[in-house]
Structure 1
Amino acid sequence: MNQMQNIYDYAGASQAVRHNVLRNTYWLLALSMVPTVLGAFIGVAFHVPMLGGGLGALLFLGIAFGFIWGIERNKDSGLGVALLLGFTFFMGLMLTPILSRTLGYSNGGFLIMTAFGGTASVFAVMASVATVSKRDFSGLGKWLFAGVIVMIIASLANIFLGLPALAITISVIAIAIFSAYILYDVQQIVNGGETNYIRATLAIYLDVYNIFVNLLSLLGIFGGNRD
């Protein structure tokens, strides 16, 4: 009888831990949007220059992976939260080119709000499915990672090729991949596979960020109005 009680107590404690990780992840994710918006505002308002081409892409990747490495190294401390918020500010700055280009359309503000609403809807649906579904999405991980690698290579190649059709294809694939990543990342928390809310927030933030950027890119291509 005592053994059964211990099992029930352990299961309850484990469930409480998962709930706390998920709650803290959502809170930190919401907080991370503040420096993102601030970075984007500063970038657009002050026309912060961005290095383009292959060198710009390599510099971005170097800084981004430096932040990610630092966050991973300090994921159990307050420094990890500070680095995460610094990273989201940096990522907000990186929105400067696409936001400036979109705001050049007469309906640019509407396109940005549409991309924001679409991203929020995708997140809400995928996170809900991951939370309530009995299906195991853990097998998606290796396939999604492979897809991201291929997508990065294709994106770097298209910097030099400049093919509009390839850019559209990459954006569509990116939205699909990172939408599926939300399923994977949220369920990792729900099932106890991810127990660190800082690392979990970073993963989901990148999912949401990439969906927004690629959705906005598609909206600009197909719905941008120069009149």
Structure 2
Amino acid sequence: METRTVAAPAWGTSAGRSSLISTHRVLRNTYALLSLTLLFSAAVAGAGVLFNWPHPGMLVSLIGTFGLLFLVHKLQNRAAAIPAVFALTGFMGYTLGPVLNAYLQLPGGAQTIAMALSATGVTFLAMSAWALQSKRDFSFLGGFLFAGMVIALLAGLVGFFFEIPALSLAVAGAVALLSAGLILFETSRIVHGGETNYVMATVGLFVSIYNLFTSLLALFGFGGQSE
């Protein structure tokens, strides 16, 4: 039986141009929504610092975050997905506020937060530029990165409940590296048409940025305390 190979549409063809326009639209919408959600989450976190809101606790944070992630996934193709995204990012900002407040009470805490924020921004820009400019497909990293995140989450829970600082520090370093890899992976998926829903693309990048920032915060905070 004869088999035929169907080539992907070239960029010079009508189908190729249509695919390129669609990719640019997803990128534009993703970065627009990501910017708004980052600002909204930062505002909620800032309010938490200003009004000294208490931390909801590990259990509530996990249930709230994963519950809202599930809600966004269910609504991803509906208009209600946008409010759900802001609910998720706002809740994550709410959980971050008390953490920032705790760091601000420490000597050099403001500097630690500024360093973590700067490093997060530089890493995001570097990983995004690499994915956009190199045109390489980094989808092969997906399985390794997600498996690594699951392992890091479980190890982090062990370090938290059994109060093992060395394990928690190692997990923070691993999550920082994995989050940088996920930014590269997720941006590459958009560029190569693997992710066509800008809502899910936004959530993926937001969570990676959030995890990167909190991990760097823990690393820099530990380094500052050990001096």
Same fold by TM-score greater than 0.5: yes
Determine if contact 2:11/2:20 at 8 Å carries over to the other structure: no
**Gaps in structure 2 of 5+ consecutive residues:** 1-8
**Are the aligned partners of 1:108 and 1:224 in contact in 2 as well (CA < 8 Å)?**
no
Per mean C-alpha deviation after superposition, the further-off stretch among 174-183 and 92-101 is 92-101
1:82-139 deviation line (CA, Å, top 9, x unaligned): 1111111110111133211210123222221211111000000000111122432111
Q: CA RMSD in A?
A: 2.0
Task: Between the two structures, name the one with larger relative contact order (CA 8 Å, sep ≥ 6).
Answer: 1
Q: Show the counterpart of 2:15.
A: 10
Equivalent AA in structure 1 for residue 104 of structure 2: L
How does the TM-score come out when normalised to structure 1? Answer: 0.90
Query: What is the identity, as a one-letter code, of the residue corresponding to 2:48?
Result: G
Distance 1:224 1:28 in 2: 36
Q: Are 1:29 and 2:46 matched, yes or no?
A: no
Asked if structure 2 preserves the Cα contact closer than 8 Å seen for 1:105 and 1:225, the reply is no
Alpha-carbon displacement from aligned partner over 1:20-57 (angstroms, at most 9, x marks no partner): 10111011110001221122122222222224xxxx32
> 5+ unaligned residues in a row in structure 1: which ranges?
none
The sequence identity of aligned pairs, in percent, is: 34
Residue of structure 1 equivalent to 2:79: 78
Over 6 Å off, 4+ runs: 4-7
Report if the CA contact (8 A) 1:123-1:182 is conserved.
Answer: yes
Structure 2 Cα separation of the partners of residues 6 and 203 of structure 1: 27
Once the two structures are TM-superposed, the CA of residue 149 in structure 1 deviates from its matched residue by: 0.7
Q: Distance in 1 between matches of 2:209 and 2:119?
A: 10
The TM-score, its normalising length taken from structure 2, stands at 0.90
1:48 corresponds in structure 2 to 53
Alignment-derived partner of residue 6 in structure 2? none
Provide the residue aligned with 1:222 in structure 2: 223
**Partner of 1:40: helix, strand, or coil?**
helix
1:105 partner SS? coil
Query: For 1:58-83, what per-residue CA distance to the aligned partner results, in whole angstroms no more than 9, with x for missing partners?
Result: 32221111111111111123311111
Name the CA shift for 1:104/1:130 in 2 (closer, same or farther; >3 Å).
same
**Superposition deviation, residue 7 in structure 1:** 7.4
SS at match of 2:139: coil
Match of 1:147 in 2: 148
